[in-house]
Amino acid sequence: MSQVRKAFRKGVKVSERHGAGEWTAERLSSLLLVPLTVWALWAAFQIAGGGYEGALDWFSNRVNASILAVTLLATLWHMNMGLKVIVEDYIHTDGAKGLLLGLNTLFCLALAAGSVFFIVRLALGSAPLPAGFGF
């Protein structure tokens, strides 16, 4: 078995040069989310007074639906990266870490797929769910 040597300089562990790409991706997604969040707040203010028909009209605009989809996908990507860092930092059992990382990814993918599905349905003028879907 080979042992991994951890290098220390003046009592501080030296970087192993992994994780810099993830750090950069998190910062870039944060920067992307700033204008998208401002847009989402403005859009919510626009939709608020229009009722159900106003919301359907808002969603029928392809630009609004596209920007909303991008906002949700960027948010879920950022959330996935953030939760991944938390799990990697605080869960030390390999099995539990792998399980939680997998569940995090599946949860974010399921939310992304469902969100895009319903945004597309609303943008195309369909009801969010077919009548008689069970609810």
- Is 1.20.1300 the CATH number for 27-123? yes
pLDDT of 75-130, one tens digit each? 999 999 999 999 988 998 999 999 999 999 999 999 999 999 999 988 988 766 66
Q: CA 84 to CA 105: how far, in whole Å?
A: 9
Identify the pLDDT of residue 1: 46
Please work out, in degrees rounded to the nearest 5, the angle formed at the alpha carbon of residue 90 by the alpha carbons of 92 and 114: 105
The residue type at 82: G
Question: 8-23, pLDDT tens digit by residue?
Answer: 777 776 766 667 788 8
- Cβ proximity of 36 and 70 under 8 Å: yes
**pLDDT band for position 33 (cuts 50, 70, 90):** very high
Reading the block at residue 38, the tokens are 């401002």
Using a CB cutoff of 8 Å and minimum separation of 24, what contacts does 72-77 make? 72/112, 72/115, 72/116, 72/119, 73/112, 73/115, 73/116, 74/29, 74/32, 74/33, 74/36, 75/33, 75/36, 76/108, 76/111, 76/112, 76/115, 77/29, 77/108
Mean pLDDT of the chain: 87
Query: pLDDT at position 50, please?
Result: 87
Percent of all residues in the chain with a pLDDT value above 70, rounded to a whole number: 84
Q: Record the tokens describing residue 45, joined without a space.
A: 């203010």
